[in-house]
Amino acid sequence: MTHDVAPAPRFHDEKAASLEDLALIDPHLERKLLWKMDLHLVPILWLMWTFSNLDRSNIGNAYAGGMKASLGMDSTHYSIALLVFFIGYVILEIPSNMILVRLRPSIFLPACMFLWGAIAIALAGCKTPGALAGVRVLLGLAESPFAPGVLYLLSTWYKKKELARRYTLFWLGTPVSGMIGGILAGGIIGKLHGKGGFEGWQWLFVIEGAATCVVALAAFFLLPDYPTTTKWLTDSERDIILRRLGEENLNVEGEEMGHMESLKAAFTDWRTYLFVLQYVLATGSMTITYFIPTLVGTSGLGYTGSMVQYMTSPIYAVGIVCVFTVCFLSDYLQERGFFVVGAALMGTVSFGIIMGVQNHVVQYIFLCFGLASIFCCVPTILVWASNVVSWPREKRAIIQAMLNVAGNVASI
C-alpha cells in the first residue's frame, strides 16, 4: 500500500540534477527503475481507463441491442443522452486537477472510479429517455477528474521524452474498450436477455458497472502517489527519479504559484490556444465512436443481430495497431507534430473515400483507418502539450485539464 503521505512532489534545488550528477546514474539501474515504475503505474491506470471508456460508450451497444425500443427512444433522444454526458464531463476537469495537485491520487482517482461505476449500474434502472439523460450527466461528472488527473500524475514520474509511450499505452484503453466492448455486448445482450427479469442491455450496464467498482477497490491498494511519497521505491531509486526530473526543470524550488496565478499563467500562454484548437478538432471527430454500432448495422453496412456488436471489434483492433506504432515512433524520434499532421491527413483521406464509394467492404476498411487516425491524434496532442508547457506544475495541470474541457465541449 502507498497511503501514508499526501503532498505532491517538490524537487528542491539541492536535488536538481547537474550534468555531473546525471552522468553518474547507471544506465542499467535507470532502465530497471523505469521498468519498475511502468509495472506499478501503467497496468492499473490502463485498466481504469479501459473501464472508464466502457462505461461511457456502452450506451452505443445498448442502444443497438434493445434499449431504443425499451425506452421508446429516437435518434434525438439518443443524441441528447450522448450530449449531456459531456456537459457533466467538462464541469469539474479544471477544478479537479487544481485540487489533485494537493491531494493523493491513490485515493482520489479510485474514489472517482467507484462512484462512476455505481452510476453506470444505475443506467440499467432508467425507464424513460429523460431518466437516461439525467444519469448520464452524473456519469460525466464522476468521470471528469480522471483523464486529466492521470496525465498530470504520469508527468510527475517520467521525463518528457518518456511520457508519450506511457500515456499512449494508458490511452490504448480507448480502442481496447471498443474492441472488447463489442464482444462483451454481443455475448451479454444475446445470452442474458430475459434473465432475472432484465433485458440484455440492462445486464450490460449492470455487469460492466459492477466490474468497474471491483477495479476501483483494487486501484486503491495498487495505485501509487508521487515519487517522494511512494514506499516501494528505495531511497536511491527516489533520488534517481528526482535528479532525472530535475534535469528538465519539471519541478524546482520557487515554482509554486497560487491558484489564481496558475490560472492566469495558463490562460495567457499563447501556446495553450494552439493546443486547444488541435485537441478540439481531434476529439470532436472522436464522437463517431458512439455511432460505430449504428454505422455497421442495417442503416449502414447492413449487419444484423449480434453481428452488429461483433463487427465493431476489428475496427478498434486496427486503431490499436496504429496507436502502438505512432506512440513508439514518436518517442523514438522525439517528434510529435509530424505524427499529428500525418494521422490527421490519413483520417481526412479515409473519411473522404467512405463518402465517395458505395462498396460496403471498402467503406468498412476505410472506417477502420479513419477511426485509427483519430485515436493516434488525441494522445499525441496531449503529450505534446505536456512536453511544451512542462512547468510550473499547477500551470501544467490546468492546461492539461483545459485541453480535456475544450475537447469535450467539441464533443457536445
Q: Give domain status of residue 95, yes or no.
A: yes
**Span 71-82, mean pLDDT?**
90
Q: How high is the pLDDT of residue 6?
A: 41
Q: How high is the pLDDT of residue 8?
A: 47
Q: Show the domain range for 389.
A: 18-250+258-411
Q: Give domain status of residue 74, yes or no.
A: yes
Please name the helix (run of DSSP H) or strand (run of DSSP E) that holds residue 56, with its range, or none: helix 27-62
Q: Give domain status of residue 386, yes or no.
A: yes
Q: Tell me the CATH number at 400.
A: 1.20.1250.20
Could you write out the three-class secondary structure of 260-326? HHHHHHHHCCHHHHHHHHHHHHHHHHHHHHHHHHHHHCCCCCCCCCHHHHHCCHHHHHHHHHHHHHH
**Span 33-51, mean pLDDT?**
92
Q: Give domain status of residue 6, yes or no.
A: no
Instruction: Pick the range with the lowest mean pLDDT from 288-292, 387-391, 406-410.
Output: 387-391
- In total, how many domains does the chain have? 1
The tens digit of pLDDT for each residue in 161-193 reads 777 678 777 878 888 888 888 888 888 888 888
The tens digit of pLDDT for each residue in 8-19 reads 444 444 444 444
Is the bond preceding 392 in cis, omega lying within 30 degrees of 0? yes
Q: Give domain status of residue 192, yes or no.
A: yes
Cβ atoms of 201 and 70 within 8 Å: the answer is yes
Instruction: Kindly report the pTM of this predicted structure.
Output: 0.75
DSSP codes, 332-389: HHT-SHHHHHHHHHHHHHHHHHHHH---HHHHHHHHHHHHHHHHHHHHHHHHHHHHHS
- Can you give the length of the chain in residues? 412
Q: Give domain status of residue 3, yes or no.
A: no
Q: Give domain status of residue 316, yes or no.
A: yes
Segments in 92-199 forming alpha helices (H): 93-100, 105-122, 129-143, 146-155, 160-171, 173-192
End-to-end CA distance of the chain: 39
| Coil/strand/helix, residue 128 | coil
Q: Give domain status of residue 4, yes or no.
A: no
